[in-house]
Structure 1
Amino acid sequence: MSSDCQGKSSWPELLGASGNVAVSTIERENPLVTAIIVPPGTSVIPVFQCDRVWVYVDANGNVDRIPTIG
């Protein structure tokens, strides 16, 4: 699905980075998306969107899953 979306769609290099740094990096590298931090244990809407990136973080606020459009 992400192949239909415009711009960069995945940020594996942000794994382990601060969630806040990840959000600003993602939004700078692809201004068509909004990056949203997802704290541990939080549910998200399971609907794919080209303009959204969930940034899953651990208890320390560091990215623990590769952020991708969706």
Structure 2
Amino acid sequence: MTSECAGKSSWPELLGTQGDVAAATIERENPLVTARIVLEGNFVIQDFRCTRVWVWVDNSGTVTRVPKIG
């Protein structure tokens, strides 16, 4: 599904970094998206959007999943 979206769509290099740094990097590398930091265990809407990236973090703010458009 991400092939239909413009710009960079996945950031595996950000796994293990701090969520706020990851969000800023994502928005800098693809200005068409908004990065949203989400604490693991919380629920998010499941619809697919080319303009959104969920940045999943643990209690210490570390990225726990590869951020990708969706």
Shorter-chain TM-score: what band?
Answer: over 0.9
Name the SS for the 1:17 alignment partner.
Answer: coil
Structure 1 portions without partners, runs of 5+? none
Structure 2 portions without partners, runs of 5+? none
Name the SS for the 1:25 alignment partner.
Answer: helix
Distance 1:56 1:44 in 2: 11
Residue in 1 that maps onto 2:11: 11
Number of equivalenced pairs: 70
RMSD: 0.4
TM-score for the superposition, normalised by structure 1: 0.98
Given the alignment of the two structures, is residue 28 of structure 1 paired with residue 28 of structure 2, yes or no?
yes
Distance 1:29 1:55 in 2: 15
Offset at 1:9? Answer: 0.1
Residue in 2 that maps onto 1:53: 53
Distance 1:2 1:40 in 2: 22
CA offset digits 1:9-29 (Å, max 9, x no partner) = 000000000000000000000
Distance 1:12 1:48 in 2: 19
Q: Name segments (4+ residues, structure 1) moved above 2 Å.
A: none
